[in-house]
Amino acid sequence: MQPIQLSFLVFLLLCTSNLRAQQGYSGNEELDCDNQGRTVPSPSYLYTCNGQNLSCRAFMIFKSQANYSSVSSISRLLSTDSLELARINDVSVSDSFPTNKEVIIPVNCSCPGQYYQANTSYVIDDVDTYYSLATGVYQGLSSCNALVGENPCDANDLFGGLDLLVPLRCACPSGNQTADGIKYLLTYPVSEGDSFSELSDRFNASYDDTASANGFSKQGEPTIYPSTTILIPLPQEPVSSQTIIHHPIEISPFQPLHPSIINNNIKRSHSKLRFGIGIAVASLLVLCALVAVALWCDKK
């Protein structure tokens, strides 16, 4: 093989490594509502049906809110069984959670078409839009595109009292994940200040498994956005001791090492890293080209 062909192959491999991902991360796209994903699969809609089974038990994290803080109200909002929810969160069915506490939601995830989903329904207020429902009430656990795709009502024609079908993001493990001992996938809605490696640690998942579950490379901390979701692969059911209460991030003059500032520094050092890798790949390509030219000249 000619060096130039080899370098092209290396380049191609670098570019296509995401194809082996279990699911793709939607990134900021999830926040758009541009009618993507109805025909061509897109992670900004829901997760694709590419698992070993077409249905499975799955889990989600929901952060308790003013209007959704009791076991019964959260169970109703997400159409899950309240006894199961109470058991897995180690509380009783009549209990309530403090605001912003992560609550584990067990769901039955299934695949009616090309996407995995757990269905629930929601009766809208006057002020709700598909977007505010997906990212506000449902914290990113549904998506604007999927709400538009699965409800007959046009986004401009929503009215108070309308009963909507809300498809929630879930997924079943792929054959490779099952072979690695992964039994469940947890859909985690990202909050301000969350870091990918801290999350894999907290749920006792290996960093590499979590990265590959979301289509990220195993090197470097990926950038994740609030109101989008990532999948955390679990070898057993999640337990309540793994959940935390999120405290709103406040700017205080007495806290010079603010989490978002730390995150920014991490992001910056990663963009430096990417820049460095870019330079290395470019140099490699130039070097290969030079070698090829040298060999070609030699032959003449």
Ligand X SMILES: *[C@@H]1O[C@H](CO)[C@@H](O)[C@H](O)[C@H]1NC(C)=O
* Site residues for ligand X per CB under 6 A: 20, 52-53, 56, 66-67, 80-81, 84, 106-108, 110, 112, 117, 119, 150, 165, 172-174, 176, 178, 204
Give CA–CA dist 64/69, Å, rounded: 5
Give CA–CA dist 109/23, Å, rounded: 15
Give the list of residues 6+ apart from residue 254 with CB closer than 8 angstroms, or none.
none
CA distances from 248 to 93, 245, 281 (A): 27, 10, 41
Nearest residue (CB) to ligand X, 32 versus 201? 201
Q: How many CA atoms within 13 Å lie on the side-chain side of 194? A: 24
Give CA–CA dist 241/249, Å, rounded: 22
Q: Please report how close the Cβ of residue 154 comes to ligand X at its closest, in angstroms.
A: 17
Nearest residue (CB) to ligand X, 86 versus 292? 86
Q: Please report how close the Cβ of residue 199 comes to ligand X at its closest, in angstroms.
A: 14
DSSP string, 38-87: SSS--TTT--BS-SSSSEEEEEEEEE-BTTB-BHHHHHHHHT--HHHHHH
Q: Please report how close the Cβ of residue 62 comes to ligand X at its closest, in angstroms.
A: 13
Tokens 């006792």, residue? 204
Nearest residue (CB) to ligand X, 26 versus 200? 200
Give the list of residues 6+ apart from residue 40 with CB closer than 8 angstroms, or none.
none
Residue nearest to ligand X (CB): 112
Q: Please report how close the Cβ of residue 105 comes to ligand X at its closest, in angstroms.
A: 8
Compute φ and ψ for 221, nearest 5 degrees: -80, 115
Q: Please report how close the Cβ of residue 127 comes to ligand X at its closest, in angstroms.
A: 8
Nearest residue (CB) to ligand X, 7 versus 215? 215
Q: Please report how close the Cβ of residue 128 comes to ligand X at its closest, in angstroms.
A: 10
A 10 A CB-CB count for 236 gives 10
Nearest residue (CB) to ligand X, 52 versus 255? 52
Nearest residue (CB) to ligand X, 79 versus 195? 79
Q: Please report how close the Cβ of residue 289 comes to ligand X at its closest, in angstroms.
A: 30
Nearest residue (CB) to ligand X, 165 versus 292? 165
